[in-house]
Amino acid sequence: MTERLQGLLAAPWAPWAIVLLSLLLTLPALGGGWSADDFVHRIVLNGAQDFGPRHPLLDLFTFLEPGAWNQALAERGLLPWSSDPDTRISFFRPLSAATHYLDAVLWPESAPLQHAHSLLWWGLALLGVRWVTQDTGPPWVAALALLLFAVDDAHAVPIAWLANRNVLICLTLSTLALGLHQRGKLVWALGPMALALCASEAAIGAAAYIVAWELTRGDARPKALLRLAPLVLLIGLWRLLYNQAGYGAQGSALYLDPIRSPLAFATASLERGPILVLGQWLGPPIEIWMLSEPWLRWALAGTGWALCIGLLWALWPLLKASRQARFWALGSLGATLPLCAAFPMDRLLLFPGLGAAALLALWVQKGGRGARLMLSLTLLGALVFPLKVWGTNPLMRAATQAPLPPTERPEQPLVFVNGSVFGSFYQLLAPLSQGDPTPETTALLAPAWTSLAVHRPQEQVLEIHAEGGWFEFPVDQIVVDPSQLSQGPFQGAGFQADILEWTQDHRPLRVRFTFTDITGPRFLAWQDGAIQNWQLPEVGQTAHLAAMSPLGW
């Protein structure tokens, strides 16, 4: 880096200019509107009783919950027929929920103002990042760390997606806690950390930086452990209350609970952890993991492992020489580990990105091997940052709300012969959240990513043979754990499903669907890249549906 650029970054006004630059680049979010989980939030916050009463603060981030809630979703067909009724995907985020409740009170129908609210939290979070990185090195190094973090394209989704605001709030409070701890105010740090835990589970990532701070101080280990004791007690109490209140994850192959399923979490971490590192340092869209066949998923993991080894080799001289480098590297690694409880996504990289940005700035200062190349790749990624902010919500809407063929009976039940779990879920919730006419029920029979043979042996019966089986791709396992799938039969919205044949790895291969009234629903199918009306085959006949590439979804 040239001396002139170093001088600009060292200027007292540089951090403020970087925060302003980042906010300007994120302004496209104001036109993003609502998408995906935003519709769930709108239903809850608007007091809709379609699925029973929901608490706006305690239930806003509860998507699945054993009991009345899951039963209500199943009756409307919003749970796949194969889902365990005890499936749980529920998060304790009352502080984040309170900000959405404020939106619903002040400007319920103004998406731009709600997005402006999120941008306010992003600006506050950047000030927090500045506070915890300002002693990383000379002023220009600290400013470079802030710049690298502020324009990282991996952060586009949390900024642009209203439902993901929770991590921005969590980052703001967590950096306050970390900054206080860095300055020796250990007791004062517990308050913002407790609030951060009430904003998002991502606060565990911030706790990793506090642990890393203590482990790299050079003090005697007993003293470090003693200083960490209050934080450990706080997190332990939070987790106890979290469990007692019924929050957590179960019944999903994508969301894992490290406490309840430690072996599954450890196994998944070997694959997911390196992919998260790959996404952080080289920037490929790691979301392709959940739309990939097994060989590609392991290829991504293998590339991630190779990158980890390469980074360790390149950074080793810096790590040996700099306590700050060891702190940020260990903190980033520690913040990555709990993220393996979810499937790999760029939007998870907010907390690992904090340490990675500071570490790269120190690497550039030292001029170690590969530093200039890595800096160039990072800054190139910044060029797509505003584009990703602008495109986040339209892309999510395209993936979850593909246009349906017109109909004169919007209340008619929908049956997707093939498709995605997300698509059938939001096709009902999106119009419901806006007060539009909605189908009585929706249902998804089979995945769209494999060729289907649909046979009609009897008037009310369809038998579907999926060439690759059900749940071949992770995207369809969000509310199902194939390894725990029972023998059935399974009750769907207006039909019963019986698994007739299994794959070798215990996934359904051929399933019989017996309908109560097969003439009542409107049948739809993905064909030629679009959702189209689908004609039932005559009794005794077989219809075929071609596979659709998940990567072309």
Structure confidence at residue 398 (pLDDT): 81
Looking at the fold, whether 353 and 487 belong to one and the same domain comes out as: no
Looking at the fold, whether 519 and 430 belong to one and the same domain comes out as: yes
Residue 169 lies in a domain: yes
Taking the alpha carbons at both ends of the chain, their separation in whole angstroms is: 41
Q: Which of 383, 391, 500, 493 is nearest to 453 (CA)?
A: 500
Looking at the fold, whether 114 and 235 belong to one and the same domain comes out as: yes
pLDDT digit string, tens, across residues 395-442:
888 877 778 888 888 889 999 999 888 777 787 778 777 778 888 888
Query: Would you state the structure tokens that stand for residue 290, as one six-digit string?
Result: 């959940």
Strand, coil or helix: what is 487?
A: coil
Report CA torsion sign: 243, 245, 250, 254. Answer: negative
Looking at the fold, whether 384 and 473 belong to one and the same domain comes out as: no
Looking at the fold, whether 162 and 274 belong to one and the same domain comes out as: yes
pLDDT grade for 174, boundaries at 50, 70 and 90 = very high
- With pLDDT > 70 as the criterion, what percentage of the chain qualifies? 97
Structure confidence at residue 434 (pLDDT): 78
Looking at the fold, whether 396 and 441 belong to one and the same domain comes out as: no
On the question of pLDDT at 287 being above 60, the answer is: yes
**Residue 310 host element (H or E):** helix 294-321
Structure confidence at residue 6 (pLDDT): 82
Strand, coil or helix: what is 490?
A: strand
On the question of pLDDT at 234 being above 90, the answer is: yes
Structure confidence at residue 1 (pLDDT): 62
CA neighbours closer than 13 Å in the CB half-sphere of residue 117? 23
Structure confidence at residue 7 (pLDDT): 85
Structure confidence at residue 108 (pLDDT): 93
Residue 487 belongs to what domain range?
401-552
- Give the residue from 349, 374, 400 where a domain finishes: 400
Distance, CA of 326 to CA of 346 (rounded, Å): 24
Structure confidence at residue 51 (pLDDT): 67
Which residues share a beta bridge with 444? 416
Torsion on CA atoms 42, 46, 51, 53, rounded to nearest 10 = 130
- Cβ contacts of 46 within 8 Å, gap of 6 or more: 104, 108, 433
Residue 213 lies in a domain: yes
Looking at the fold, whether 433 and 350 belong to one and the same domain comes out as: no
Residue 241 lies in a domain: yes
Residue 449 lies in a domain: yes
When pLDDT is averaged across residues 225-244 and rounded to a whole number, the result is 93
Structural domains counted in the chain = 2
Residue 55 lies in a domain: no
- With pLDDT > 90 as the criterion, what percentage of the chain qualifies? 68
Do residues 418 and 448 touch, judged by C-beta distance below 8 A? yes
Looking at the fold, whether 420 and 277 belong to one and the same domain comes out as: no
pLDDT digit string, tens, across residues 446-464:
999 999 999 999 999 999 9
Pairing mode of beta strands 414-419, 442-447: parallel
Residue 157 lies in a domain: yes
Looking at the fold, whether 409 and 329 belong to one and the same domain comes out as: no
Structure confidence at residue 410 (pLDDT): 86
When pLDDT is averaged across residues 181-206 and rounded to a whole number, the result is 95
Residue 482 lies in a domain: yes
pLDDT grade for 85, boundaries at 50, 70 and 90 = confident
On the question of pLDDT at 553 being above 60, the answer is: no
pLDDT grade for 302, boundaries at 50, 70 and 90 = very high
Residue 97 lies in a domain: no
- Give the residue from 369, 400, 431 where a domain finishes: 400
Structure confidence at residue 277 (pLDDT): 97
Mean of all residue pLDDT scores within the chain: 91
Residue 85, amino acid: P
pLDDT grade for 220, boundaries at 50, 70 and 90 = low
When pLDDT is averaged across residues 278-304 and rounded to a whole number, the result is 91
Looking at the fold, whether 314 and 458 belong to one and the same domain comes out as: no
Looking at the fold, whether 335 and 422 belong to one and the same domain comes out as: no
Q: Is 0.75 topped by the overall pTM?
A: yes
On the question of pLDDT at 75 being above 90, the answer is: no
Strand, coil or helix: what is 465?
A: strand
The beta strand positions in 184-331, using DSSP E, are: 248-250
What would the DSSP string read from start to end of 97-113?
Answer: HHHHHHHHHH-TT-HHH
pLDDT grade for 341, boundaries at 50, 70 and 90 = very high
On the question of pLDDT at 378 being above 70, the answer is: yes
Q: Could you say which DSSP state residue 369 is in?
A: T
- Give the residue from 400, 429, 462 where a domain finishes: 400
Q: Which of 42, 52, 37 is nearest to 101 (CA)?
A: 42
Do residues 32 and 115 touch, judged by C-beta distance below 8 A? yes
Strand, coil or helix: what is 152?
A: coil
Distance, CA of 339 to CA of 276 (rounded, Å): 8
- Cβ contacts of 344 within 8 Å, gap of 6 or more: 272, 275, 276, 279, 286, 287, 289, 290, 300
Looking at the fold, whether 412 and 536 belong to one and the same domain comes out as: yes
pLDDT digit string, tens, across residues 30-74:
999 999 899 989 988 987 666 667 889 999 999 899 988 888 888
pLDDT digit string, tens, across residues 503-551:
998 999 999 999 999 999 999 998 888 899 999 999 999 999 999 876 5
